[in-house]
Amino acid sequence: MTELSFIHRYEPATDQGHPPLLLLHGTGGDENDLINLGRMVSPGSALLSPRGKILENGMPRFFRRLAEGVFDEEDVRFRANELADFVAEARDAYGLGAPIALGFSNGANIAAAMLMLRPEALAGAALLRAMVPLSDAPKTDLAGKRVLMVSGQMDPIIPVDNSARLAASLASSGADVQHETLPTGHGLSQTDLQLLLKWLA
């Protein structure tokens, strides 16, 4: 593992035809969490998986929150920029193209913030159980960027209208957004996998 600004795991591509994936774990996960998911949904892709730097009761996250569903937005901005800088470092170190972010929960939220603040860092994003990361997101140009959002109808953490608002905000910035709402909670289901496979293909 090359020494970069985030503890991370890197797996080189075995198929250059697949885009690199930036894997972003949920609260309490780490750099190993989504490796198998990445291998499953985009076989052959290079995988870049950083560990969030914030600890909440010992559990890694990508940014601070003040309460469940209430984000420290100043920290969100700082961390999204810090993560975008790491992506630039890693692209240099490993010779990668712009990655597609694949984020779950807290990882999906930081990926959404990166799209809003540093769109050049990502080629697109698959956001699983994401919510609005910034109440006053800057207007940015996301033309040409594909975004898949998958929400849970019965998600106890994220109100349905919140994820719909995020989808609308990304679409209004020009992103090509596909937003699916599944009859499920916050955890991932088989249908999430099917949607990811189809979208990444």
Which residues are marked as active site?
A: 105, 155, 186
Which among 6, 10, 9, 51 is positioned nearest to 29, based on CA atoms?
51
- Residue 123 phi/psi, 5° resolution? -85, -20
Q: How many CA atoms lie within 13 A of 80 on its CB side?
A: 27
Which token pair is 192?
A: 């999430």
Strand 100-104 versus strand 70-71 pairing type:
unpaired
Contacts of 76 (CB under 8 A, 6+ apart): 63, 109, 110, 113, 133, 134
Contacts of 46 (CB under 8 A, 6+ apart): 10, 11, 12, 13, 20, 21, 94, 96, 99
